[in-house]
Amino acid sequence: MSYELAGVVDSRHALAHPLLAAVDVGGTKIAGGLADRDGGLLHQVQLPTPARGSAREVMAVVGQVLDLLARHPLWASVRAVGIGSAGPVDIQAGTVSPVNIPAWRGFPLRSEVAAHPAVDGLPVALGGDAVAMTAAEHWRGAARDHRNALCLVVSTGVGAGLIIDGSLHTGPSGNAGHLGHISVDLDGRPCPCGSRGCLEGLASGTAITRTALEGGWQPAGHDTSAGAVAAAARAGHPAARHAYDRAAQALAAGIAATATLVEIDTAVIGGGVAKAGNVLFDPLRRHLATYAALPFAAHLTVTPALLGTDAGLIGAAALALPLLASPTVVAGR
């Protein structure tokens, strides 16, 4: 039966089919969704993020997204709310400090959402966006059949999360698996995080463009995106190919290190840079054969993410799923 056709949702229906509300906070958009407990998205809304606005202005848009969701008849069946946010996050404190939303530093997003009139009384879970994407790919996507997996989001930055022994491994603050800021180049460039030679500085979309430009690649128009570099690489431009090869090498070193550390058997790669397809994945698999050399890491596979732009909302819903199973235990509130 379609939920949409059910029209009026009574309390018995709500008990039989508890739903999850999901909120995905990013630097460009704030999305909301209603999901069933199998991770199916039943309804979605989204508004632009006033990323340069005050802390209150950004929160007001989160409130508007919640209000839009609450207008849907299925809202009556919502039993828990999950939030995935650009990071860093602190899931113990319930706060977020997204790099691309400067007004939010230690912002108490979880308690603010919990206090929203529409949410009143529902348990709320919070996680970082890359960890949410990891939960989504494990629940419904490319990591579905794996008990030990690393999932990466490679776009303007590099985020990642871990599935260990079949469960999401968040770490105490919610940032475990943050592969973008492990060093893969001991004497490499200083990183804004304070370290040097970080994976993100070599493998992000921004880094790929910089490497290509430094190598002499010139964009045909004004498009200097990693996608434009990928098109040039596909056409055989040596500097563009080198930029992807260098990014792939850095990713391979980080993925192999993770496999050696915690014995993952697959790495799932999503985000805009993964859209380069074989331009990224061919050199990545080649370099991985070099770096993941020990027998217990050598069977490691690398595969593109499956959920695309839905991963944020499905992942936010996944973070709230444990709250459905034990409604009296509200983690971290």
Residue numbers at the binding site for Zn ion (CB under 5 A): 181, 191, 193, 195, 198
Token pair for residue 175? Answer: 């940032």
CB of residue 208 vs Zn ion: minimum separation in angstroms? 16
Q: Which residues contact 326 (CB under 8 A, 6 or more apart)?
A: none
Inter-CA distances, 249 with 45, 79, 154, Å: 38, 44, 14
Minimum distance from residue 45 beta carbon to Zn ion (Å): 34
Instruction: Give the chain's largest Cα–Cα span.
Output: 65
- Helix 226-234 to helix 205-214 angle (10° resolution) is 50
For the CA atoms of 41, 42, 47, 53, the dihedral, rounded to the nearest 10 degrees, stands at -60
The residue (of 197 and 219) whose beta carbon lies closer to Zn ion is: 197
DSSP per residue over 291-317, as a string?
H--STTTTT-EEEE-SSGGGHHHHHHH
Handedness of CA 53, 98, 274, 180 (dihedral sign): positive
User: 319 near 135, Cβ under 8 Å?
Assistant: yes
Task: Please report, for residues 33, 44, 51, 187, 308, the alpha-carbon distance to residue 47 in angstroms, rounded to integers and kept in the order given.
Answer: 12, 11, 12, 42, 19
The DSSP code sequence of 9-62 is --HHHHHHS-EEEEEEE-SSEEEEEEE-TTS-EEEEEEEE--TTS-HHHHHHHH
Give the residue with the Cβ less far from Zn ion, 28 or 195.
195
Residue 264 in contact with residue 300, Cβ under 8 Å?
yes
Nearest approach, Cβ of residue 198 and Zn ion (Å): 3
Please name every residue paired with 126 in a beta bridge, in sequence order, or none if there are none: 83
Q: Give min distance, CB of 61 to Zn ion, in A.
A: 29
Closest distance of CB 128 from Zn ion, Å: 15
Neighbours of 132 (CB within 10 A): 33
